Chain A
């Protein structure tokens, strides 16, 4: 199920959190309700860890990770690195990387099998990503944007990309990632998908401005609802009538 929430009056929840299949990182300093919304959904299944990265709250945009590992920028402090190594499960490899492009969350989009990266990423960083995250790495652009980590969000079951992505690009990306993709928006028409939402294989968190239509598209492409073998029209109709917050 997809949940709508806000971080201190901002609907950009993908900036202040990082959700994977094995753990969830949440920024410190937000109201307790932000943290407790994540806890309510995830507490029994995966650890929800409060942290900062490089002393900032924009952790979702600075790090990249999946169930196998977490990659942090060189600006991460030693205490933060240690805190993450202590609190995350043992099978998650936490690694700090020396990369000029330090906003790794904006440069790398990944699930548990494939990663899309910024075209100018260092070769060493690419190898490190393949090692630590256990993924196949592809340098790509999305609708002409090199910040692939910002303009798409994908899990092992589906993906949402920038609304202006052409059909050919969609097909190409879908073949690379081996998941169904849909071009759409989040937070009432915002094109920066990954900033407005965060997703894993069974749940998603979106900004409070996300409309019912956007939410239904998210729920259907990421297969978050119990699968109903009905046409997309029926699914849309249900969520349009259902005014759920």
Chain B
């Protein structure tokens, strides 16, 4: 793999002069930097007021506590970066169980994600020497990468694991003829990542997708980001009691627990979805002893994404 020059996000003041993709990226980073900067200074002028207040509360708590006593409050500045080859091990750790326990070309898959620097974001700490990756999000065009071994194995896995006879036809179509318009939305993060980051993370991704449709150098690449559908592979907790699953929608909250809050919104907006059993060993806590970790595959129409972004923002701001 040719080594791309590492692009470190240097913090620059906001200067939205031109409409070039570089300037847009800079403007986005600068906005993120300003957000952090304001929060650090504990002023009230930043854009995300609620976000600001929550983190100010965190600031006050950590200031009032003793230096020696660790009361569980940690100050962290998260920053969004383009995927870089250095992020390989961090992203690999996050995506280790992406396809259950199937032995597949995960390294090749990670290379695809890291090679696509125009669309995709990696969340890391500002100025962290360990280069720890906290979250990764990207959208891969299934048609563009269809010749890669990892994508063939992924398609094979999804088709094998789909036990729903109605949905398998739809799945086959999306993975086959329509694959040039289908984006695989990969989003994975550490369990305790602050949910305030989610709207920004998804905004960043979908904005990058729309910018890529204009900014990519070749026509083919530009078209490859005109997604009509997104496919998501994720995990949820399903109540072990099968009767509960078939009960009315009023009980739906207890029937399924969504590990990632955005999965619930995606599922509501999806054109179809199906569940599949997982084979990896599961660690169950006391609260989740009635629940079974299950895989879920969903397909969402690209036109519903703006509604998704709005619903996600509302969901996070309420919680």
Residues of A within 8 A of B (CB): 6, 8-10, 31, 188-190, 208-209
B107 neighbours in A (Cβ, 8 Å):
188, 208-209
Whether the pair A8, B101 counts as a contact (CB closer than 8 A) is yes
Pick the residue among A9, A189, A190, A209 that contacts B101 (CB under 8 A): A9
Q: Which residue of A lies closest to B105 (CB)?
A: A208
Pick the residue among A6, A9, A10, A188 that contacts B88 (CB under 8 A): A188
Known interface pairs A208-B107, A209-B107; A9-B96 also in contact (CB < 8 Å): yes
Q: List 11 A-B contacts (CB under 8 A).
A: A8-B101, A8-B103, A9-B96, A9-B102, A9-B104, A31-B103, A188-B88, A188-B89, A189-B88, A189-B89, A208-B107
Q: Which residue of A lies closest to B281 (CB)?
A: A29
A208 CA / B110 CA spacing, docked (Å): 14
B106 neighbours in A (Cβ, 8 Å):
9
Q: Which residue of A lies closest to B99 (CB)?
A: A9
Q: Which residue of B lies closest to A11 (CB)?
A: B107
B57 to chain A, nearest CB (A): 39
A188 CA / B102 CA spacing, docked (Å): 21
Q: Which residue of A lies closest to B1 (CB)?
A: A211
A215 to chain B, nearest CB (A): 15
A32 CA / B96 CA spacing, docked (Å): 20
A7 to chain B, nearest CB (A): 9
Which 5 A/B pairs are nearest by Cβ-Cβ distance? Answer: A209-B107, A9-B103, A188-B88, A9-B106, A8-B101
Q: Which residue of B lies closest to A188 (CB)?
A: B88
B104 neighbours in A (Cβ, 8 Å):
9
B110 to chain A, nearest CB (A): 10
A42 CA / B170 CA spacing, docked (Å): 48
Instruction: List 16 other contacts, CB 8 Å, given A8-B101, A9-B104, A189-B88.
Output: A6-B103, A8-B103, A9-B96, A9-B101, A9-B102, A9-B103, A9-B106, A10-B96, A31-B103, A188-B88, A188-B89, A188-B107, A189-B89, A190-B89, A208-B107, A209-B107
B89 neighbours in A (Cβ, 8 Å):
188-190
A245 to chain B, nearest CB (A): 11
A189 neighbours in B (Cβ, 8 Å):
88-89
How many B residues are at the interface, by size bracket?
Answer: under 10
Q: Which residue of B lies closest to A211 (CB)?
A: B1
In the complex, per-residue mask of B67-111: 1 if CB is within 8 Å of any chain A CB, else 0: 000000000000000000000110000001000011110110000
Q: Which residue of A lies closest to B280 (CB)?
A: A8
- CB < 8 Å A-B pair total: 19
B88 neighbours in A (Cβ, 8 Å):
188-189
A10 neighbours in B (Cβ, 8 Å):
96
A189 CA / B102 CA spacing, docked (Å): 24
A196 to chain B, nearest CB (A): 11
A169 to chain B, nearest CB (A): 21
B101 neighbours in A (Cβ, 8 Å):
8-9
- For window 104-132 of chain B, which residues contact chain A by CB distance below 8 Å? 104, 106-107
B306 to chain A, nearest CB (A): 36
A31 CA / B101 CA spacing, docked (Å): 11
A128 CA / B88 CA spacing, docked (Å): 41
Q: Which residue of A lies closest to B92 (CB)?
A: A209
A209 CA / B109 CA spacing, docked (Å): 12
A188 CA / B103 CA spacing, docked (Å): 19
B66 to chain A, nearest CB (A): 30
Q: Which of B88, B89, B103, B106: most chain A CB closer than 10 A?
A: B103
Q: Which residue of B lies closest to A207 (CB)?
A: B107
A208 CA / B104 CA spacing, docked (Å): 11
B96 neighbours in A (Cβ, 8 Å):
9-10
A6 CA / B88 CA spacing, docked (Å): 17
A31 to chain B, nearest CB (A): 7
A66 CA / B292 CA spacing, docked (Å): 44
A189 CA / B84 CA spacing, docked (Å): 14
A6 neighbours in B (Cβ, 8 Å):
103
A10 CA / B89 CA spacing, docked (Å): 12
A190 neighbours in B (Cβ, 8 Å):
89
A139 CA / B106 CA spacing, docked (Å): 39
A179 CA / B107 CA spacing, docked (Å): 34
A230 to chain B, nearest CB (A): 27
Q: Which residue of B lies closest to A9 (CB)?
A: B103
B103 neighbours in A (Cβ, 8 Å):
6, 8-9, 31
Q: Which residue of A lies closest to B97 (CB)?
A: A9
A6 CA / B103 CA spacing, docked (Å): 9
Q: Which residue of A lies closest to B104 (CB)?
A: A9
B290 to chain A, nearest CB (A): 27
A6 CA / B96 CA spacing, docked (Å): 13
A168 CA / B57 CA spacing, docked (Å): 50
B92 to chain A, nearest CB (A): 8
In the complex, per-residue mask of B140-183: 1 if CB is within 8 Å of any chain A CB, else 0: 00000000000000000000000000000000000000000000
B90 to chain A, nearest CB (A): 12
A4 to chain B, nearest CB (A): 11
A189 CA / B90 CA spacing, docked (Å): 12
A208 CA / B89 CA spacing, docked (Å): 13
A132 CA / B96 CA spacing, docked (Å): 39
